[in-house]
Chains A and B, each alone.
Chain A
Amino acid sequence: MTSWKGRSDDMRLSQRFGLLFTLPLTLCALVILAGCGSAKNVTRIEPGVVTDLSGRWNDTDSRMVAETMVKQALGSPWLDEYRQQAKRKPVVIVGTIRNRSHEHIDVNTFVNDLSRELTNSGMVTFVAGRGEREEIRDERLEQATHSLEETQKAPGKEIGADFMLKGDISTIQDEADGTKAVFYQVDLEMIDLGNNVKSWFGQKKLKKVIERKRTLF
């Protein structure tokens, strides 16, 4: 028969063992649980606020470059020369803006920023580009079949562009020890469709330095 003292010893031993047994398990569980938590917080902000999160090309870059390019384009002599000569606003079509960078840049966003600023300036008229034209022509064909005659839009009344806006976005990257320097260069040119003369060159350069820490707690 086990004595009272013996049972007490056993209990204490059991308690100590239990503590020693559960302590590492608790620590392990804490370590595991510490990595499980995640929090999400959404804040609505003005579209104009600069949000550099990853260091990649973003909406701020697109808007900044478009604004600079528009200022350059509207401040250059080609516009006044054409208006004096032709007695009207030049008609511009957007050609290919090629992405020659290291990033998958949505060139359309940039082109739209640019077209909007130039059109809103009231000094240039933009006409639909190649991709959009097909859709509009299809719609006219549809109208010819299905719309009231007085509301139909006839073919052959499109305005031919005087200039084509072309260009490219390129990057040069350099990286060492977690620090990356990205140099963006956006080149645009306005080509006279009548004689292939390059009437205007615009250029905007951006440089970003992205620093990443190698270790964190």
Chain B
Amino acid sequence: MDPTIYRAPAPERGTRLVRQALLVALLLGSVLGSFGCGSGLKRYAAVDRHLSAGDPQAAAGVIREAEGEYGSKSQVLYDMDLGMMLHLAGDYAASNQHLERAETRIEDLYTKRITAEVVAFLVNDTTLPFDGAPFEQVWVNVVKALNYALLGEWDEALVEARRIDHRLNVLTDQREADEYREDPFARYLSGILYESAGELNDAFIAYRKAYEAYRTAQPWLRTDVPDALKVDLLRITDALALSQEHEWYQREFPETTWRRRSEIKDLAQVIVISYNGRAPRTEDQFLDLPIDLDALKLVLLTKGATTGANTDERRVVESVLYGLSGRVVRVALPKLVPQKTQVSHSLVSLSGPAGLIQTRTQLTANLTATAKKALDDRFASLAVKAVARAASKFALAEGAARGTQKAGRDNEAALAAFFVGFLFKSLAIATEEADKRSWRTLPDEIHIARLWLPPGEYTLQVRPVGVTGGETARTSTRALTLRRGETRIIIERVLS
């Protein structure tokens, strides 16, 4: 007798069966609830609301209050999220404390626990400690470098630039040429920091690597070499008297106008960095694989009856129904959902001693494309693991049911086997979930404008312009006092 097909139970047993099924449904509900994906959605929605209202401090408060929800396995993510919020709130020292802790924990997580991997193989990848995708690990150092620069601690900012270089060098050694192993923005920012601190030779190396990385990554990053980087390469090769390289870059960018370092040494530098939009989120993509025709009908019927998002309620219903059928295997894979910005660029204007100076920001980092690349790089291995896990869970459930049936006498063993099969298969389906954790407080895109101005008092205005040409967010205005030779970094956050 097939243990997964339960035939004609006695009336009192049938009533008990219904009670037990309800109990299992409740259990599944609690198992699903324990993953807390719903609370994560609410948390990020609250963060977005505060950021839209221009209150990053309150957004940081939301993250702080949710520390318990992150759980012990997602402490790195908690520190990343809070570090980013504190960075936006202007509390750079506190931001660095959290990001430093995230970095230390990432290093500790290099050593994988076999027991944790086994549990993840039997349940799902969310049981593993989160250590971030390689690009997220690089961006911990990127945000830290910016924090130190904003604090005026240039030597410490350069420590982060060196760490970025080391991290990317290790990735280059470990990964294939078509995988994420270089980060154009991280390289470009390193160049800016080196040059601002007077380390011209290191700045040239970083600019050159940024240029090569932008060109290599163009197919997936969809970001052109920024005009500002072309100017930087021409200026720095001239300053270092690298005539061969300078001529080569002049041939590469014949239209680019630039100024010598000697012409800008008495000026102040303003770097406007605009974080636009939101990093993509990840959703479950469930593949419900029916093993026979009846199961196929059930899957089609269930999908028809429970349309819409992957809610916890829907997952409970599906888990119970598929568990009862016993002939459906579920595979969960992560699916990236972009949250693209509506900002095309920002108009930057500075009015002061030099009159009115205007420029526009340019795209320098596309984090949605980078996250997509990171997911693409590991998708094949994720898929293989997910299929293997689903097959193992199904085999375990089948084995348990058959074992139960053999352990008892015919009439009661069939009932017990049915329950065991139902329980294990429902649990297998209910616990199947993709690891959806990612650094969601990062922006979708980063735009930069770089200007050199005579020292003095200025009024800075940054006006975001939408892809359709209209204004997408409020114009920000602030007063600046610039000193000779100083580098001033201005951070803008545009959520739309």
- CB contact under 8 A between A104 and B159, given known A13-B412, A215-B111, A217-B115: yes
Asked if residues A216 and B111 are in contact (CB atoms below 8 Å), the reply is yes
Q: Chain A 169-188 against B: per-residue CB contact (8 Å), 1 yes, 0 no?
A: 00101011010000000000
Q: Which residues of B contact A175 (CB under 8 A)?
A: 166, 170
Q: Report A96 CB to chain B, min CB distance, Å.
A: 9
Bound complex: CA A171 to CA B416 (Å) = 66
Name B24's closest neighbour in chain A (CB-CB). Answer: A21
Of residues 80 to 129 in B, which have CB atoms within 8 Å of A's CB atoms?
100, 104, 107, 110-116, 119
Asked if residues A24 and B72 are in contact (CB atoms below 8 Å), the reply is no
- CB contact under 8 A between A212 and B110, given known A20-B419, A99-B159, A176-B173: yes
Q: Report A48 CB to chain B, min CB distance, Å.
A: 25
Does residue A83 face the partner (Cβ distance < 8 Å to B)?
Answer: no
Number of A interface residues in the complex (CB < 8 A)? 32
Does residue B162 face the partner (Cβ distance < 8 Å to A)?
Answer: yes
Asked if residues A20 and B110 are in contact (CB atoms below 8 Å), the reply is no
Does residue A82 face the partner (Cβ distance < 8 Å to B)?
Answer: no
Does residue B155 face the partner (Cβ distance < 8 Å to A)?
Answer: yes
Bound complex: CA A24 to CA B104 (Å) = 35
Bound complex: CA A103 to CA B416 (Å) = 61
Does residue B493 face the partner (Cβ distance < 8 Å to A)?
Answer: no
Bound complex: CA A184 to CA B104 (Å) = 20
Q: Is the interface of B mostly helix, strand, loop or mixed?
A: helix
Does residue B213 face the partner (Cβ distance < 8 Å to A)?
Answer: no
Q: Which residues of A contact B416 (CB under 8 A)?
A: 13, 16-17, 20
Q: Inter-chain contact count A-B, CB under 8 Å?
A: 74
Does residue B270 face the partner (Cβ distance < 8 Å to A)?
Answer: no
30 residue pairs from A and B, CB less than 8 Å apart = A2-B12, A9-B412, A12-B412, A13-B415, A16-B412, A17-B416, A21-B419, A21-B423, A31-B119, A34-B115, A54-B107, A100-B155, A100-B158, A101-B159, A102-B159, A102-B163, A103-B159, A104-B156, A171-B162, A173-B166, A175-B166, A176-B170, A212-B110, A212-B111, A215-B112, A216-B111, A216-B113, A217-B113, A217-B114, A217-B115
Q: Chain A 8-35 against B: per-residue CB contact (8 Å), 1 yes, 0 no?
A: 0100110011001100100000010011
Name A212's closest neighbour in chain B (CB-CB). Answer: B110
Asked if residues B424 and A24 are in contact (CB atoms below 8 Å), the reply is yes
Does residue B368 face the partner (Cβ distance < 8 Å to A)?
Answer: no
Does residue B319 face the partner (Cβ distance < 8 Å to A)?
Answer: no
Number of B interface residues in the complex (CB < 8 A)? 35
Q: Which residues of B contact A178 (CB under 8 A)?
A: 110
Bound complex: CA A101 to CA B159 (Å) = 6
Q: Chain B 384-419 against A: per-residue CB contact (8 Å), 1 yes, 0 no?
A: 000000000000000010001001100010011001
Bound complex: CA A175 to CA B404 (Å) = 52
Does residue B446 face the partner (Cβ distance < 8 Å to A)?
Answer: no
Name A210's closest neighbour in chain B (CB-CB). Answer: B107
Instruction: Tell me the A residues contacting B by CB distance below 8 Å.
Output: 2, 9, 12-13, 16-17, 20-21, 24, 31, 34-36, 54, 98-104, 171, 173, 175-176, 178, 212-217
Does residue B371 face the partner (Cβ distance < 8 Å to A)?
Answer: no
Asked if residues B162 and A101 are in contact (CB atoms below 8 Å), the reply is yes
Bound complex: CA A171 to CA B158 (Å) = 13
Does residue B427 face the partner (Cβ distance < 8 Å to A)?
Answer: yes
Q: Which residues of B contact A98 (CB under 8 A)?
A: 155
Bound complex: CA A9 to CA B10 (Å) = 13
Of residues 412 to 459 in B, which have CB atoms within 8 Å of A's CB atoms?
412, 415-416, 419-420, 423-424, 427
Bound complex: CA A17 to CA B404 (Å) = 10
Q: Report B276 CB to chain A, min CB distance, Å.
A: 30
Asked if residues A17 and B155 are in contact (CB atoms below 8 Å), the reply is no
Bound complex: CA A173 to CA B104 (Å) = 17
Q: Which residues of B contact A21 (CB under 8 A)?
A: 419, 423
Partner of A215, one of B107, B114, B159, B170: B114
Q: Report B427 CB to chain A, min CB distance, Å.
A: 7
Q: Which residues of A contact B113 (CB under 8 A)?
A: 215-217
Asked if residues B110 and A24 are in contact (CB atoms below 8 Å), the reply is no
Q: Which residues of B contact A36 (CB under 8 A)?
A: 72
Name B100's closest neighbour in chain A (CB-CB). Answer: A104
Of residues 111 to 159 in B, which have CB atoms within 8 Å of A's CB atoms?
111-116, 119, 155-156, 158-159
Name B113's closest neighbour in chain A (CB-CB). Answer: A216
